[in-house]
Amino acid sequence: MKRGEYFLIPALVCLAVFWRAPFVWFRTDDFAWLGLRLEVHGAGSLMRALFLPEAQGTVRVLSERLFFLVFSSVFGLHAAPFRWFALATWFVALALAGAVGARITGSRAAGIAAAVVWTTSFGVAVPLMWSSAYNQILCSFLLLAALYARTRFLESGETRWRVAEWVAYLAGFGALEVTVMYPLAALLYTRCVARQKDRGAWALLAPAVIFGGIHWLAIARPAGETYRVVVDGRIAGTALVYLKNALGPDGFPVRWAIGAALASFLVWRVWRRDARALFPAAWFALFIAPVLPLPNHILYYELTTPLIGMAWLSGWALEWAWKAGAVARALAIGLAAAFAAGSLPQINADTAEWLARTSRMRLMVRAAQAAAAERSLEQSRGTALIFKGVDQELFDTGFEDEPFRLFGVTRVYLAPGSENLRGSERFRISADDAARLIENGQARMVEVTH
């Protein structure tokens, strides 16, 4: 096997673990972003669609705005192109993680092992199945591309690699806000791993400061407790929650043994005055730090980028233990098997649930499309759809996000008897009104099968 082909191993492992991902359809927030193209009618509206703060005051031009605008315009409600593009981005990110990991540890095997650990961590499952979380994948790719370019620049001194770093780094601001932490990571890599000085690296701080200032001062933050920034003792508790789930899913006690082993390896390397070991730990800390002041909004997929640091340390520890002797090798194999025993079943359960729920959503939406298409275009725009058989799970998967407006249907109701569904108030209709609309040919009944 040629040298470059080794870096295909993590991608193949990813496909084996996430084989359901290409078949997962849209859900919840996806429908809001898919509808973004409906708001574009010219240059002015395009600028608003691309740069007007949305969601939680975010402006993720590349990972959300352009991604959904381009793909929804070309592929409509076909989800497979979204999923394959996300997977392709992920495969390149895995290769970059392996290449950078090889430079940190001095071992290609350790780099590849790190990429495998990363792609088998249950914390990355949601971004690989949800188009609205593509920002996590793209951000990881761009940050790794920037860091890889830095490694090549420090090795060769070629200006083209410094330019490549800046391009990837600046693009990262269009993917996810945690990009502001990259300059610190670049400086730490330069000092701890490459053991060089690079005054030019300090210039990376300027865009981060400007972006952070604009984001904090000029963009209104969402109201409510969910996104309220809290700087108090709860930060430590939030950090512990993320750290535990970086090691394994809830209810998996062996993750403490894995954590103890990694901590011991880190302390041992630092005790041996190997400053390289500080970098993976710092990477995790830097990129999880921005979400720690949000104790009411803990989302495990926020671990996607920080997990790269944990994976680098894990791959390094596995490679060292393999060479250290029979006892260390047996311990490493046992802990690696324990990690897989905790993470892989959780990934399997999560991917199965996502596929089942989004498949039901797809069937409902396609049935609605067919019902609307039975009338002429002008008539269908005024036709109301009344859905019978929608349960709470299906409602929460995306019904409330109004996917039907994507094909011109704006009057949508739940059949009488659905009043027990949480959050369904704006979709309710009385039995008399439903009967009148149907009798007058102004509504069609869509029965949802289970």
pTM > 0.85: yes or no? yes
Mark whether 167 and 30 lie in a shared domain. yes
Mark whether 314 and 209 lie in a shared domain. yes
Mark whether 290 and 437 lie in a shared domain. no
**Residue 211 falls inside a structural domain:** yes
**Picking from 151-165, 290-304, 376-390, 399-413, which range would have the lowest pLDDT averaged per residue?**
376-390
Question: In whole angstroms, what separates CA 255 from the centre of its chain?
Answer: 23
Q: What total number of domains does the chain contain?
A: 2
Q: Which domain holds residue 417?
A: 374-447
**Residue 359 falls inside a structural domain:** no
How far apart CA 47 and CA 44 sit, in angstroms, is: 5
Reading across the β-sheet that carries 443-447, which strands appear in turn? Answer: 411-414, 384-388, 443-447
| Tens-place pLDDT, residues 167-204 | 999 999 999 999 999 999 999 999 999 999 888 899 99
Mark whether 260 and 126 lie in a shared domain. yes
Mark whether 189 and 223 lie in a shared domain. yes
Give residue 221's pLDDT.
Answer: 66
Residue 448 has a CB neighbour count (10 Å cut-off) of: 17
Mark whether 345 and 407 lie in a shared domain. no
Strand bridging mode 384-388 / 443-447:
parallel
Mark whether 389 and 272 lie in a shared domain. no
Give residue 3's pLDDT.
Answer: 63
**Residue 358 falls inside a structural domain:** no
Average pLDDT, the chain: 91
Mark whether 307 and 191 lie in a shared domain. yes
How far apart CA 165 and CA 199 sit, in angstroms, is: 15
Mark whether 68 and 203 lie in a shared domain. yes
Strand partners, 26: none
**Picking from 55-64, 101-110, 253-262, which range would have the lowest pLDDT averaged per residue?**
55-64
Nearest-10 crossing angle of helices 108-119, 9-17: 20
Q: Nearest to residue 111, comparing CAs of 318, 321, 312, 333? A: 312
Question: In whole angstroms, what separates CA 151 from the centre of its chain?
Answer: 25
Mark whether 311 and 390 lie in a shared domain. no
| Tens-place pLDDT, residues 213-251 | 887 776 666 666 667 787 888 899 999 999 999 999 988
**Residue 181 falls inside a structural domain:** yes
Residue 438 has a CB neighbour count (10 Å cut-off) of: 14
Mark whether 407 and 317 lie in a shared domain. no
- Identify the residue with better confidence: 262 or 296: 262
Q: Helices then strands (H, E): number in the chain?
A: 19, 3
